[in-house]
Amino acid sequence: MSDASLWTFGVHATARVHPTAQVSPAAVVGPHSSIGAGCVVHPYAVVGPHTSLGAGCVVYPFAVIGGPPQDRRTPPDATTRLVCGDANIFREHSTVSRGTPHAGGETRLGAENLLMTGAHVGHDARVGDGCVLANGVSLAGHVEVGDRVTFGGHAGVHQFVRVGGLALVAANTMVTLDVPPYCLAAGDRARVLGLNVVGLRRAGVDAAARLSLKRALRSAYTSGPHLLAPADDLEVPEVAHLRAFLATRRRGLTPRGPRD
């Protein structure tokens, strides 16, 4: 199949579109794709080949969801995949690349994510549920993002970096090392400035658990990630999750900044 045939206006004969979905005649839905119930694909939006959208997703004009990976080793017509959960919103000019054959072949987004104008998710990335990528945010290939992470405008994340759940990455931040869950990261290069207190409150994490997290985070940076103290804080689920994240980091830990 030629590359040109992947981008013809209309719905490809091999694509599956739920009867309740709305696809504009000026949109592109590529071969072997799946559009779930209640989805809306606006004019001039593109859903690429081998791309699956869960129920209730909205793709705005000029977004390209499931385009070929920006990877020189992968041909544009490679049968790699993009899998998206329910209720994701892809605003204008946002882009999400399919996976690459040499890294599992699949990019995956969870549910209820918002990609604002110009946001990008690279090939083979994993994004959880309820994340917000503000205008111009760029996640490189192989990035892993937990649930309910917020990225301020024009933040950038280096390939293979992990960003833990309920973290907040401030606008214009350049992230090159792993960001622990529940933390606020800012700067070029990024520094951890403390806990994402507002996000934790909104998520219903109570004051006692937030205090335990603060102690655990301070201990991780002063005594090492395997020496989270005091010991009774390890019974707090959020602390246990923080410890598990730190024990499995791949690129090293974003250093702590001037605030605690």
pLDDT at 230 (0 to 100): 53
Query: 141 catalytic, yes or no?
Result: yes
- DSSP helix/strand/coil, 67: strand
pLDDT at 2 (0 to 100): 53
Residues whose CB is less than 8 angstroms from the CB of residue 52 and which lie 6 or more positions away in sequence, other chains included: 33, 34, 36, 81, 82, 83, 84
The phi, psi pair for 113, rounded to 5°, reads -90, 150
pLDDT at 228 (0 to 100): 53
pLDDT at 149 (0 to 100): 98
- Could you say which of 128, 136, 141, 165 is catalytic? 141
**Residue ranges of the chain with per-residue pLDDT less than 50:** none
The per-residue DSSP string of 140-209 comes to -TT-EE-TT-EE-TT-EE-TT-EE-TT-EE-TT-EE-SBB-TTEEEETTTTEEEEE-HHHHHHTT--HHH
pLDDT at 256 (0 to 100): 93
User: How far is 198 from 128, CA to CA, in rounded Å?
Assistant: 20
CB 230 within 8 A of CB 248: no
Query: 156 catalytic, yes or no?
Result: no
- Could you say which of 71, 124, 147, 233 is catalytic? 124
157 beta partners: 139, 175
Considering the entire predicted model, what is its pTM?
0.93
User: Domain extents for the chain?
Assistant: 4-200, 205-247
Query: 130 catalytic, yes or no?
Result: no
- Topology adopted by domain 4-200: UDP N-Acetylglucosamine Acyltransferase; domain 1 (2.160.10)
User: How far is 73 from 15, CA to CA, in rounded Å?
Assistant: 26
pLDDT at 235 (0 to 100): 79
- Could you say which of 50, 123, 142, 241 is catalytic? 123
User: How far is 124 from 102, CA to CA, in rounded Å?
Assistant: 10
User: How far is 65 from 45, CA to CA, in rounded Å?
Assistant: 8
CB-count exposure of residue 202 (10 Å: 0-12, 13-18, 19+): exposed
